[in-house]
Chain A
């Protein structure tokens, strides 16, 4: 039996996201996907899913959802005041939910703008071009291609067989992604760093920028010292990598994020390290950003660390699930005892679903 969530209040911007619609940029299809992919992975692992499963990305003011059926949920990422039946509930933990339960968010607690709410079995919307991520501008993927609205009814996929054994499993502090609001955002110069003066590049890496109000899933426009081009700010269109710091003629940087267009005609001074994009994505308009010069090697190292944190969490989940079972055995339908009689002797065989 899947779990159902009925949307009572949609929140500011609640969308279904997974790891993104990779593989179709050659046809102009933006990637979309979770703005904090590690929060998505952690929430999913806690809810008993694969790290890449589709979940709800919650932005600043979260939704109110009513539960039908039984299952588990987990919230990771920013603390947006997650509540179960009106009472504050823990993040980074697999929580059992029952029919009639209400999930809600009381408001951001100041440590970031985006949370991920994962449900056991993932969010069951059709995969479009290989992904369940919502790309709102073209109304593709997710729930009807749009953010959630009051009255929507979301279904989970089939519950993972071991979801009950995952209940109360939580992510240790050491495996939670760090989203320091003061941390510099590291970036690799290129692909058009040579279109800027030396002073221009120094300005980018030596100044404080403020995230403007024009900051969304497509990109964050920054305000601060102008970055000087050598000559033209426009180029013959080329690809816009995830995290590209695009600088049009006005000299103000725009960091291109999950919903960015695939190609564009502005110079890109640098590209933010993939692992630091989530750090940036958790900041909100009015907050400050400093860019720091980095290397592809550092970016690769951070991504390897991220992958090993997720692998470690999956390992801990396996250990947690195989702990000696507590409570009454009939609550775990995946195991039991059989009495077998063979050549006059009776054996008790314990079995467990894997």
Chain B
């Protein structure tokens, strides 16, 4: 996509406009969503209430008592046309420690059986490739991660669990993800992170933002418990770094 087709601006009621860059799950397309969000956040317009990025669109919530819709539409067209070509390989990497298998990942055996891979190899492939956060949604703090090694793909459980503890890391088809809060679900649980992925009382409440990359790092049980204690005491520093082009 070397050319830069203008996005569509869709009506979404009287207090929201949706800037749609496409209809696919695609990193290049998502990069434009993030770029428009950044452009609007850096030069905020009065009357914009909030910006919600998704896989392929940016929802712009506004207060019609404070900004005229036609004016906002013009502003969005103008900013969207001026996004530049920006690379898709940059961004922040967030390291998420995970204790795999055992009681932390009760379905690791299922994944091994399905993929015909030994546990060490599942770990190596799950930690060996950074996944990209396209968006957050579904539940507070849930990151839609793309780019997991597809050899790990395993169908969901036939019988979903009633409660999955917060921090559980799972696989569902070609997707991997982390449960941010206790919730029911059918993902194959392969491990658990000691970090609180979503904490409404912390600033910011989420560790992962749309546009970030996530690197899973294997820790043993002792490491899990140490990080959990440090995180609880507020002495744990989240490991993040900038991703280099071509990494």
Q: Is the C-beta of A75 less than 8 angstroms from some C-beta in chain B?
A: no
Specify the chain B residue showing the minimal Cβ separation from A270: B13
CB < 8 Å neighbour of B13 from A26, A30, A271: A271
Task: Give CA–CA (A27, B138) in the complex, Å.
Answer: 10
Known: A190-B12, A191-B11, A191-B12. A238 touches B18 (CB 8 A): yes
Q: Is the C-beta of A138 less than 8 angstroms from some C-beta in chain B?
A: yes
Q: Is the C-beta of A300 less than 8 angstroms from some C-beta in chain B?
A: yes
Task: Give CA–CA (A296, B70) in the complex, Å.
Answer: 10
- Within B101-145, which residues are at the interface with A (CB < 8 Å)? 135-142, 144
Minimal beta-carbon separation of B180 from chain A (angstroms): 8
For A26, what are the chain B residues with a Cβ–Cβ distance below 8 Å?
37, 50-53, 136, 209-210
- Interface 9-residue window, one of B58-66, B83-91, B92-100, B157-165: B58-66
Q: Is the C-beta of B54 less than 8 angstroms from some C-beta in chain A?
A: yes
Q: Is the C-beta of A119 less than 8 angstroms from some C-beta in chain B?
A: no
* CB atoms of A236 and B25 under 8 A apart: yes
* CB atoms of B138 and A28 under 8 A apart: yes
Interface digits, A222-244 against B, CB 8 Å rule (1 contact, 0 not)? 00000000000001111101111
Task: Give CA–CA (A239, B209) in the complex, Å.
Answer: 16
Task: Give CA–CA (A237, B58) in the complex, Å.
Answer: 11
* CB atoms of A237 and B200 under 8 A apart: no
Known: A28-B139, A235-B23, A299-B13. A263 touches B50 (CB 8 A): no
Query: Interface size for chain B: under 10, 10 to 19, 20 to 34, or 35 or more residues?
Result: 35 or more
For B24, what are the chain A residues with a Cβ–Cβ distance below 8 Å?
236
From A27, A264, A297, A307, residue with most partner B Cβ within 10 Å:
A27
For B65, what are the chain A residues with a Cβ–Cβ distance below 8 Å?
300, 303-304, 307
- Within B192-212, which residues are at the interface with A (CB < 8 Å)? 198, 200-201, 204-206, 209-210
- Interface 9-residue window, one of A17-25, A101-109, A280-288: A17-25
For B218, what are the chain A residues with a Cβ–Cβ distance below 8 Å?
none
Task: Give CA–CA (A233, B124) in the complex, Å.
Answer: 38
For B10, what are the chain A residues with a Cβ–Cβ distance below 8 Å?
190-192
CB < 8 Å neighbour of B52 from A128, A239, A303: A239
Known: A138-B181, A188-B14, A296-B14. A22 touches B50 (CB 8 A): yes
- Within A28-68, which residues are at the interface with B (CB < 8 Å)? 28-30
For B52, what are the chain A residues with a Cβ–Cβ distance below 8 Å?
25-26, 239, 262-263
Task: Give CA–CA (A24, B92) in the complex, Å.
Answer: 20
* CB atoms of B59 and A140 under 8 A apart: no
* CB atoms of B200 and A140 under 8 A apart: yes
For A192, what are the chain B residues with a Cβ–Cβ distance below 8 Å?
10
Q: Is the C-beta of B175 less than 8 angstroms from some C-beta in chain A?
A: no
From A25, A28, A271, residue with most partner B Cβ within 10 Å:
A28
Specify the chain B residue showing the minimal Cβ separation from A262: B137
Task: Give CA–CA (A244, B11) in the complex, Å.
Answer: 11
Minimal beta-carbon separation of B40 from chain A (angstroms): 12
- Within B8-37, which residues are at the interface with A (CB < 8 Å)? 10-16, 18, 20, 23-25, 37
Q: Is the C-beta of B57 less than 8 angstroms from some C-beta in chain A?
A: yes
* CB atoms of A261 and B138 under 8 A apart: yes
Task: Give CA–CA (A300, B49) in the complex, Å.
Answer: 15
Chain B contacts to A: CB under 8 angstroms: 10-16, 18, 20, 23-25, 37, 49-57, 59, 61, 64-65, 69, 135-142, 144, 180-181, 198, 200-201, 204-206, 209-210
The 7 closest A-B pairs by CB, nearest first: A299-B14, A271-B13, A263-B137, A239-B59, A190-B11, A300-B64, A191-B10
21 cross-chain CB contacts under 8 A? A25-B59, A27-B140, A27-B206, A27-B209, A28-B141, A138-B200, A188-B11, A192-B10, A235-B23, A236-B24, A236-B54, A237-B144, A238-B54, A239-B59, A241-B13, A271-B12, A271-B16, A273-B13, A274-B13, A303-B15, A304-B65
Chain A contacts to B: CB under 8 angstroms: 22-30, 128-129, 137-138, 140-141, 187-192, 235-239, 241-244, 261-264, 268, 271-274, 296-300, 302-304, 307
